[in-house]
A and B are shown apart, each in its own frame.
Chain A
């Protein structure tokens, strides 16, 4: 039995029922610690002052917005190559959550940019590529809504998702490839983080807390998607039962 065989709807729902409260509880505790450190123990930045507090929300949202898309791309691969039924359930459940996180990243980035760069928005490579990520999310959500048949919708959105994944390395390396107003990477670097440890640890703890909340939301959304498919199956079954009665010819009339 391959590992993919374990990912069937019944097992996923059973796993989800057990794991959800733990993930939510742990996420709340870790996030509370992270937020306490972000607001009360982390120092102000010597150049940016107190506005550095926005980083503890903005950066995890940016990471998770991209991470969610990477998971969607992996699911899309699972849909197209393995035709696994849980892959498109996972991808469909992920899209609105990833879009929300990316939107929070864009809004907080704009609110951070105004006092630091003296502008709400600039069409530089990093900001524009993240905006494109958000628009791709919206397009994928719209596509899921537009195609009624789940298997067909899964295949079409999987193709679009994989094409959209080209944007992920562009976002990551945009600050290295082009001259941008956005600062270069300061945490995930080959030569190690350049950020001061008193700021780095609260940032990493906040990121872990937000990640756990993200997984909790994803498990909840996956449960919903499985229920939606069960509703659809029952509705079709009810329609099949009702169909012969409604289409039956009047008595005495032959076809």
Chain B
């Protein structure tokens, strides 16, 4: 690849791609962390079979 007068357009295009991929990846990863935390808390609060007579 030769760096010519259009290098800025090429660089910003690929930068947009990198930001887009990083953005969606980070969003999914943060969502996963938050859900794992919520699940851990809710599962810890689950009653045992003997104490949960209502069945749930």
Measured between beta carbons, the chain B residues less than 8 angstroms from A237 are 56
B49 at the interface (CB under 8 A from A): no
Provide the residues of chain B in CB contact with A213, threshold 8 Å: 21
Please judge, given known A-B contacts A111-B12, A111-B13, A224-B35, whether A238 and B24 are in contact too, CB under 8 Å. Answer: no
A152 at the binding interface (Cβ < 8 Å): no
Q: Is the interface of B mostly helix, strand, loop or mixed?
A: helix
Chain A residue nearest to B25 in the complex (CB): A217
Q: How far, in whole Å, are A235 and B2 apart by their CA atoms in the complex? A: 58
Q: Tell me if B50 is interfacial: C-beta within 8 Å of chain A.
A: no
Question: Nearest Cβ in chain B — how far from A218, in angstroms?
Answer: 10
Q: How distant is the Cα of A235 from the Cα of B56 in the complex, in angstroms?
A: 11
Indicate whether A103 reaches chain B with its CB closer than 8 angstroms: yes
For chain A, the count of residues having a C-beta within 8 Å of the partner chain is 39
User: Secondary structure at chain A's binding surface: helix, strand, loop or mixed?
Assistant: helix
Interface residue? A14 (CB, 8 A): no
Q: Are A220 and B32 in contact (CB under 8 A)?
A: yes
- Other-chain residue from A101, A112, A223, A238 in contact with B13 (beta carbon distance below 8 A): A112
User: Which residues, 33 to 90 on A, are CB-close (under 8 Å) to B?
Assistant: 39-40, 44, 49-51, 53-54, 57-58, 61
| A39, A112, A224, A238 — most chain B CB neighbours (10 Å) | A224
A234 near B43: Cβ-Cβ < 8 Å: yes
Most chain A beta carbons < 10 A, residue from B4, B7, B28, B42:
B28
CB neighbours (8 Å) of B9 from chain A are 51, 54, 111-112, 114-115
Tell whether, in the assembled complex, residue A100 and residue B36 are in contact, meaning their CB atoms are under 8 Å apart: no
Contacts A96-B27, A112-B9 given: A231-B42 contact, CB under 8 Å? yes
CB–CB A217/B24 < 8 A: yes
Q: Knowing A50-B1, A111-B13, A112-B9 are in contact, say whether A227-B27 is a contact too (CB < 8 A).
A: no
Does A125 sit at the interface, judged by CB under 8 A?
Answer: no
Given contacts A51-B9, A53-B10, 4 further A-B contacts (CB under 8 A): A57-B13, A104-B16, A224-B35, A227-B35
Which positions in A face B, CB cutoff 8 Å? Answer: 39-40, 44, 49-51, 53-54, 57-58, 61, 96-97, 100-101, 103-104, 107-108, 111-112, 114-115, 213, 217, 220-221, 223-224, 227-228, 230-231, 234-235, 237-238, 240-241
A-B contact pairs, 14 of them (CB 8 A): A40-B1, A44-B2, A51-B6, A53-B1, A96-B24, A96-B27, A97-B24, A100-B23, A104-B20, A111-B16, A221-B28, A223-B32, A227-B35, A238-B42
